[in-house]
Amino acid sequence: MHNTINSSGFKTMDEVLEELDRIIEETVKENNFWGIFAYVYRRTTAQIKKAVEDKLFEDNERMVLFDIAFAQLYIDAYHQYKNDKVVNLAWQRAFEFSKRRLSIIQHILLGMNAHINLDLGVAAAYISKGQDIDPMKKDFVLINQILAELVDEIQLKISRVSPLMFLLDWLGRREDEKMINFNIWKARNYAWKVACTLVRLESEQEWQERIHLVDREVAHLAYQIYKPPLPLVRIALKTMGWFEERKVDKIINKLHQH
């Protein structure tokens, strides 16, 4: 499983962006819905690169290393799963569920769930090994603000390819419970706790055991995104899916337009 990060992989954020472009191109050719999350994540990486160039972080060099390590986990999971190799359960479920007919928002959230709830904390701990992780927290929060702003933008644009997206908003006003069991701010806080726990572990075995536990929790959330517990929400998502654009290239183009 991809519980460790290949330090001999990408050296620059530009290399990461180039690889994400290749994944998007490949998934578009296959009309593979994995490409929707890949596009959203590519946008995120580009925004973080701009923030580094604008020197918005307290430690910009560290955040380059963090972003590369973070991206490596997703990219490795994508290629490993595609080549029939074992991946963490959270990513396995994200990829497998995305083979089925889901709404666009579910495809995005399945990727975000695995990458934020699992990979984000692992990447933060990895680059902080042997150091005090606390000085990283302010930059970690800023990364997530960038991500949250992008997600808000994408959600506004989803109606271009999902004409019945308003159903979730309508249900949200009628139900006190969450529509889909994913909250980006809770995910960020969860990831930070994961990072703080991992960085204090002394042995590789403890590291692997802790990630295994986190992975199972995140995989359970993936199932709830795939099949939300509220029947009305399941019906709404299924209905939305039937009226959505089904060509991945057109979905990405619509999401990309200003």
Model pLDDT for residues 210-220, shown as the tens digit of each residue: 999 999 999 99
Let me know if residue 86 belongs to a domain.
Answer: yes
Q: What is the mean pLDDT of the chain?
A: 89
Q: Residue 66: is its pLDDT beyond 80?
A: yes
CA 232, distance to chain mean position in Å, is 26
**CA dihedral (59, 60, 65, 68) positive or negative:** positive
Q: Which positions ≥6 away from 187 have C-beta within 8 Å?
A: 112, 113, 116, 117, 120
Let me know if residue 3 belongs to a domain.
Answer: no
DSSP assigned state of 149: H
Between CA 191 and CA 179 the distance in angstroms is 21
Let me know if residue 46 belongs to a domain.
Answer: yes
pTM: 0.91
Q: Residue 117: is its pLDDT beyond 70?
A: yes
Percent of the chain with pLDDT over 70: 91
Q: Residue 175: is its pLDDT beyond 80?
A: no
Contact criterion met (CB below 8 Å) for 113 and 90? yes
Q: Residue 3: is its pLDDT beyond 60?
A: no
pLDDT of residue 166: 76
CA 29, distance to chain mean position in Å, is 22
1 or 52, greater pLDDT: 52
Let me know if residue 155 belongs to a domain.
Answer: yes
Question: How does residue 26 score in pLDDT terms, banded at 50, 70 and 90?
Answer: very high
Q: Residue 167: is its pLDDT beyond 80?
A: no
Count of domains observed in the chain: 1
Report the pLDDT averaged over residues 7-16. 85
Could you give the residue ranges of the DSSP H alpha helices within the chain?
Answer: 13-30, 34-53, 60-82, 89-97, 104-112, 121-127, 137-158, 166-174, 184-199, 204-226, 231-242, 248-256
Question: How does residue 181 score in pLDDT terms, banded at 50, 70 and 90?
Answer: very low
Let me know if residue 5 belongs to a domain.
Answer: no
Q: Which residue has the tokens 């959600």?
A: 155
Let me know if residue 236 belongs to a domain.
Answer: yes
Let me know if residue 191 belongs to a domain.
Answer: yes
Q: Residue 4: is its pLDDT beyond 80?
A: no
Let me know if residue 76 belongs to a domain.
Answer: yes
Q: Which two tokens stand for residue 252?
A: 């990405």
Between CA 78 and CA 86 the distance in angstroms is 11
Between CA 127 and CA 113 the distance in angstroms is 21
Range of the domain at 251: 13-256
Between CA 152 and CA 202 the distance in angstroms is 38
Q: Residue 90: is its pLDDT beyond 90?
A: yes
